[in-house]
């Protein structure tokens, strides 16, 4: 009886070993781009819900962006059991002060395997001249859980050219780098779709006159420019 169970156990162990090696190779391939811990590619769990690793611990996190506006975004950190923790409001994590409007956009802008965030915090002036943003940054992931900080945050010019009312992920030019569309109060009753195109290795770029002519638009508060809703859908598949 003892001998027989050993004969059965050996092939089972061999199969298990093969599966482990295959799993290791798959995760190693995924992590090689970022050099960090293994995490599956981001995927969509609904039109406004992205699942992907934001804090770099290798566990997928859940980012919900109601209405695609970037105004009511929440983050739930991935847990050891494969689930998600409690909802954290992004505006709160970012330390939004009274009267300020916080917008955020999440995608892997550099397409390097880690999710990144664009953040804009501004206190609207309430008059024709727009205020400058207190914070306008591109924050390459991984981000800190406590305050969504990044070790390599970079200032973006979206904070000095109007008041950002919404941030959205867009696809301009059809490459693999997600772009940014800002619903921008440019002042004097002009609302624009102000766009920033991402380039390899840098994330969202500066204002570019030619690209703005090509992909941007202007409007008013009464007739605002249309804003993209399919940015995530273009870059990420549905979670299986
Ligand atoms: Ca995570
Ligand atoms: Ca990235």
Ligand number nearest CA of 176 is 2
- Residue 17: pLDDT band by 50, 70, 90 thresholds? very low
pLDDT tens digits, 39-82: 789 999 999 999 999 999 999 999 999 999 999 999 999 999 99
Ligand number nearest CA of 75 is 1
DSSP summary character for residue 185:
E
pLDDT tens digits, 160-196: 999 999 999 999 999 999 999 999 999 999 999 999 9
For residue 30, is pLDDT > 70?
no
Closest CA to 159 of 143, 176, 136: 136
Between the CA of 153 and the centroid of ligand 2 the distance, in Å, is 12
**Measured between alpha carbons, how far apart are the two ends of the chain, in Å?**
43
Q: Which residues surround ligand 2, an ion (CB under 5 A)?
A: 108, 110, 112, 114, 116
For residue 23, is pLDDT > 60?
no
The answer to whether residues 42 and 56 touch, using CB atoms and an 8 Å cutoff, is no
**How far, CA to CA in Å, does 205 sit from each of 98, 110, 233?**
30, 11, 22
Place of tokens 């059991």: 81
Task: Count other C-beta atoms under 10 Å from residue 84's C-beta.
Answer: 16
Across 7-21, 62-76, 174-188, 223-237, least confident range: 7-21
Rounded-to-10 torsion of CA 232, 74, 91, 106: -20
The answer to whether residues 226 and 193 touch, using CB atoms and an 8 Å cutoff, is yes
pTM: 0.84
- Residue 37: pLDDT band by 50, 70, 90 thresholds? low
- Residue 200: pLDDT band by 50, 70, 90 thresholds? confident
Between the CA of 108 and the centroid of ligand 2 the distance, in Å, is 4
Across residues 1-22, what is the average pLDDT? 47
- Residue 201: pLDDT band by 50, 70, 90 thresholds? confident
Rounded-to-integer distance, Cα 201 and Cα 179, Å: 13
209: buried, middle or exposed (CB in 10 Å: 19+, 13-18, 0-12)? exposed
More confident residue, 16 or 140: 140
The answer to whether residues 170 and 195 touch, using CB atoms and an 8 Å cutoff, is yes
% of the chain at pLDDT higher than 70: 84
pLDDT value of residue 142: 97
Between the CA of 166 and the centroid of ligand 2 the distance, in Å, is 21
Q: Which residues surround ligand 1, an ion (CB under 5 A)?
A: 53, 55, 57, 59, 61, 78
Closest CA to 152 of 136, 137, 139: 139
Q: Cα 124–127–128 angle (5° rounding)?
A: 110
Between the CA of 144 and the centroid of ligand 1 the distance, in Å, is 10
More confident residue, 14 or 61: 61
What 3-state class would DSSP assign to 217? strand
pLDDT value of residue 29: 41
For residue 4, is pLDDT > 80?
no
pLDDT tens digits, 129-140: 999 999 999 999
Closest CA to 233 of 87, 107, 90, 103: 107
Between the CA of 141 and the centroid of ligand 2 the distance, in Å, is 6
Rounded-to-integer distance, Cα 158 and Cα 197, Å: 12
Report which secondary-structure segment, H or E, holds 11. helix 2-32
The answer to whether residues 50 and 63 touch, using CB atoms and an 8 Å cutoff, is yes
For residue 10, is pLDDT > 80?
no
Helix residue ranges per DSSP H, 94-154: none
Rounded-to-integer distance, Cα 77 and Cα 96, Å: 20
pLDDT value of residue 240: 87
pLDDT value of residue 13: 46
pLDDT value of residue 34: 42
């Amino acid at each position: 009886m003892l001998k027989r169970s050993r004969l059965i156990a050996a092939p089972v162990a061999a199969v298990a070993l093969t599966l482990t090696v295959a799993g290791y190779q798959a995760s190693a391939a995924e992590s090689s781009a970022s050099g960090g811990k293994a995490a599956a590619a981001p995927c969509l769990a609904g039109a406004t819900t992205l699942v992907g690793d934001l804090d770099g611990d290798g566990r997928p996190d859940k980012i919900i962006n109601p209405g695609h506006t970037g105004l009511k975004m929440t983050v739930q950190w991935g847990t050891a059991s494969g689930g998600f923790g409690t909802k954290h409001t992004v505006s709160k994590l970012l330390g939004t002060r009274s009267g300020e409007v916080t917008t955020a956009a999440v995608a892997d802008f550099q397409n390097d395997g880690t999710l990144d965030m664009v953040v804009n915090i501004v206190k609207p002036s309430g008059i024709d001249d727009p205020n400058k943003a207190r914070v306008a940054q591109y924050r390459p992931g991984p981000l800190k859980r406590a305050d969504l900080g990044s070790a390599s945050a970079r200032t973006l010019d979206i904070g000095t050219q109007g008041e950002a009312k919404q941030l959205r992920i867009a696809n301009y030019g059809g490459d693999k780098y997600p772009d940014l569309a800002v619903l921008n109060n440019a002042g004097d009753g002009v609302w624009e779709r102000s766009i920033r195109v991402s380039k390899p290795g840098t994330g969202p770029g500066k204002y570019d006159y030619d690209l703005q002519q090509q992909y941007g638009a202007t409007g008013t508060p009464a007739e605002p420019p249309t804003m993209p809703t399919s940015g995530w859908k273009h870059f990420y598949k549905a979670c299986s």
